[in-house]
Structure 1
Amino acid sequence: MKILLAPDSFKGTLTALQVCQIIRDELQETFTVDSHPLADGGEGTLLALAACLTSAQWIKHLVCGPLPSQPVEAAYLWLPESQVAVVEMAQASGLTLLTPSEQNPELTTTYGTGELITQALARHPQKVILALGGSATNDAGLGMLMALGWQCLDANSDAIPLGGQGLSRLQQIIPPSDFKLPPVELWSDVTNPLYGPQGAAYVYGPQKGADSAMVERLDLGLRNVAQILKQETGFEANFPGAGAAGGLGAGAVWGLQAQLKSGFQAIAELTGLEQKLQACDLVITGEGFLDVQSWQGKVVSGVWQLAQKYGKPLVILAGQSSFEHYPGVAQIISLVGPDISAEQACQSPASALKQRCQELKKSLVWT
């Protein structure tokens, strides 16, 4: 039996590559196992791509972190065969770069993401891919644009402060005069608009350290940005996906003329997932928490659709699961169960996954 491993990361505990390695170690003595770690365009995208594309090169630079005074070493991925640069915004502006006490979306900025893009542009790429997700920010991508040469000015024609605190003060945006870009793609699975009850501030602000009063201020700031863009350029900023990465979706589509794409679909296409799936006998996918959102553009839903298309049996491994069964899924296996508590699974995820893989192996042998 040939088994294809195509999981997402178990967010906060195991990367997709680590998940593949653990499953592979348990199954490879009995089965032929092919690892294909995945992501949906958010945090972990570069790791997944680098694992599947052997020619990919890591390029590191020192840039501004989520806080303006915080330098971080961030990397982008260079694909030499296609001359494509893949920038993951979480590398420079991600929430995991901050301690809980540092999280404050009125202060955090995407400026470092803009610096990383600037470094990538120095290689004269044929295309730039910007992977959204895992952000610490809520600045509508203005920090990124400022790093790339845009002027974001207040009523006195002074530069607005970096971070979400500057959004309400924005009165004018002036693009750089000689700015040239190759095509830019945005990879994301987020469909939230820029502002409003389902917008960036209300839905994701609390996860980034915002209390209810700050959420309201951030949302008003995002509304102001949208109004300025509408007045100056006629651009409608409150589209589905604009709220990705704290509104970076809106800033990149407007300022970089970027095209939004499903992160999973783009990664699957670039790494040849469909061809590998056709050649296997069984597919194993997974993620940290399997719930209704898992079927809305996430890795699990994408792998499930391909397994359905080619009639391949599918096993889902999850840290925790809201489902015991799902149509077209042979088995759903949760790390958390009567013998493994949620606390144990979080503290020792590798051990818990190893135990469940041993149980899976026994069931597959008898199948």
Structure 2
Amino acid sequence: MRVLVAPDSFGGTMTARQAAEAVAAGWRRAAPGDEIVLRPLSDGGPGFLDVLNTALGGEYVKVAIPDPLGRDTTGSVLRVGDDAYVESADATGLHHLAKDERDPKRTTSYGVGLLLAAAVESGARRVVVGLGGSATNDGGAGMLAALGAVPLDVGGSALPYGGAALAQCDRLEGVPALRGAELVIASDVDSPLTGLHGASAVFGPQKGASREDVLLLDAALARWAEVLERDLPGCPPGIAELPGAGAAGGLGAGLLALGARRESGITLVRSLIGLDAGLDAADLVVTGEGSFDFQSLRGKVAAGVAAGAAERALPCLVVAGQVSVGRREAAAAGIEATYAVADELGSVDAAIAAGADGLERLAERVAREWSRR
């Protein structure tokens, strides 16, 4: 049997490549005669650069940047020909913060701006920015400040870091320096910037926002959208309502205001790494991620892989740390069956502690069930 293994990363537990290798190791123990092809994936979130570097090669450019709280860290730009790839989670990812440090009122996207500047200065003609996994809710204000468009208060002082400060934003001063490079957003989040389905309401709580914080941050982003439309040349009208503006804590809005176009992250990666050729040659497809939930069905990796498998009438399986999608909903997305490490080991905590070993164990059991078919 020819088995295509194409997972996303498993949260902070495993990269997509590590997850793919764990599935392959477990599968080979049960079905050593099967041919296994690995295609680790990303929809633009954490692991985006690693997945592209595995498939495309290229050269990493290291950049000194601040993390979401302004502490020194290092990020990377991946150069491949005339293109540069940036992973926003390098600078804004939740993985930079301990749980008690999460506070979207004061976290910043400044580091993303420095990564963009480095990409442009390296000579890239096109810069693709993967969005996802952010700890920020500042609408890209920090990014723009790093690029030379500084948000100011009514007294002319630069605003402090964080989404809460945007409520006091009076104007932008300066013009972003991008040397004419084309900007592309890789994201499958289609949320607007503000409102019930916006960045603050949908993603704020997982970043540490209370109910009161969500209301404050949403109002601050509404004010920020007004300033962007008025003061940033070329900003599209109705920026707050554009699909994808709410991605990565509103970083999508900041990029759209700079003239970026949005592409489906999984579709873009699928094309770049040659996933379709792998699907054409496969008898069975295995995908997965840390938590397979309702958001997974909204254009993320598992849904994208399942759609490609369905086009070819291939069975598609999901292996995940935990599963909260029902059988009927999974089947409607083209997924034949789902399996959870947490069920295999007895709890979510056990699954997290086991890491790759738990996924290997699960894959071995799944192989015994499916390879015989």
TM-score bracket, normalised by the shorter chain, equals over 0.9
**Structure 2 match to 1:303:** 305
- Compute the displacement of 1:334 (Å): 2.1
**Structure 2 match to 1:139:** 138
Question: Which of 261, 264, 289 does residue 262 from structure 1 map onto?
Answer: 264
* Range moving further from structure 2, 128-137 or 176-185: 176-185
Q: What number of residue pairs does the alignment pair up?
A: 362
Corresponding letter in the other structure for 2:198: G
SS at match of 2:63: strand
**Structure 2 match to 1:14:** 14
**Structure 1 match to 2:355:** 349
User: 1:30/1:340 Cα in 2 relative to 1: closer, same or farther (>3 Å)?
Assistant: farther
Give the percent of matched residue pairs that are identical in Structure 1 and Structure 2.
36
Contact map agreement 1:313 1:330 (CA 8 A) in 2: yes
User: 1:102/1:290 Cα in 2 relative to 1: closer, same or farther (>3 Å)?
Assistant: closer
**Structure 1 match to 2:77:** 76
Contact map agreement 1:187 1:263 (CA 8 A) in 2: yes
CA-to-aligned-CA distance 1:172-228 (integer Å, 9 cap, x gap): 123428652311001111111111122111222221122222222211110111122
Contact map agreement 1:7 1:286 (CA 8 A) in 2: yes
Corresponding letter in the other structure for 1:330: E
SS at match of 1:49: helix
**Structure 1 match to 2:215:** 216
- Compute the displacement of 1:58 (Å): 2.1
User: 1:33/1:189 Cα in 2 relative to 1: closer, same or farther (>3 Å)?
Assistant: same
Q: What TM-score do the two structures reach when normalised by structure 2?
A: 0.91
Distance in 1, matches of 2:271 and 2:95, equals: 28
CA-to-aligned-CA distance 1:281-337 (integer Å, 9 cap, x gap): 211111222233222101111111111111222222122223346434333222232
1:17-32 superposed matches below 5 A: 17-28=17-28, 29-32=32-35
Corresponding letter in the other structure for 2:355: P
User: 1:22/1:106 Cα in 2 relative to 1: closer, same or farther (>3 Å)?
Assistant: same
SS at match of 2:343: coil
**Structure 2 match to 1:291:** 293
Contact map agreement 1:138 1:164 (CA 8 A) in 2: yes
1:226-305 superposed matches below 5 A: 226-232=225-231, 235-238=237-240, 239-254=242-257, 256-305=258-307
SS at match of 1:152: strand
Distance in 2, matches of 1:281 and 1:211, equals: 47
User: 1:288/1:225 Cα in 2 relative to 1: closer, same or farther (>3 Å)?
Assistant: same
Distance in 2, matches of 1:84 and 1:186, equals: 13
Corresponding letter in the other structure for 1:366: R
Contact map agreement 2:22 2:357 (CA 8 A) in 1: no
Corresponding letter in the other structure for 1:46: L
Contact map agreement 1:314 1:329 (CA 8 A) in 2: yes
**Structure 2 match to 1:331:** 337
User: 1:338/1:96 Cα in 2 relative to 1: closer, same or farther (>3 Å)?
Assistant: closer
Q: What TM-score do the two structures reach when normalised by structure 1?
A: 0.93
CA-to-aligned-CA distance 1:89-130 (integer Å, 9 cap, x gap): 110121111122222212211111101111111111120011
2:47 matches 1:48: no
Corresponding letter in the other structure for 1:351: D
Distance in 2, matches of 1:177 and 1:333, equals: 47
SS at match of 1:285: strand
User: 1:306/1:97 Cα in 2 relative to 1: closer, same or farther (>3 Å)?
Assistant: same
SS at match of 1:346: helix
1:114-263 superposed matches below 5 A: 114-176=113-175, 179-232=178-231, 235-238=237-240, 239-254=242-257, 256-263=258-265
Distance in 1, matches of 2:33 and 2:316, equals: 18
Contact map agreement 1:323 1:332 (CA 8 A) in 2: no
- Compute the displacement of 1:338 (Å): 6.5
SS at match of 1:9: coil
- Compute the displacement of 1:276 (Å): 1.5
Distance in 2, matches of 1:42 and 1:339, equals: 27
Contact map agreement 1:340 1:352 (CA 8 A) in 2: no
Contact map agreement 1:105 1:164 (CA 8 A) in 2: yes
Distance in 2, matches of 1:290 and 1:88, equals: 22
Corresponding letter in the other structure for 1:21: E
Distance in 2, matches of 1:128 and 1:179, equals: 10
Distance in 2, matches of 1:74 and 1:100, equals: 21
Contact map agreement 1:229 1:236 (CA 8 A) in 2: no
SS at match of 2:204: helix
* Range moving further from structure 2, 336-345 or 179-188: 336-345
Unaligned runs of 5+ in 1: none
Distance in 1, matches of 2:364 and 2:195, equals: 47
SS at match of 1:336: helix
Distance in 1, matches of 2:341 and 2:186, equals: 29
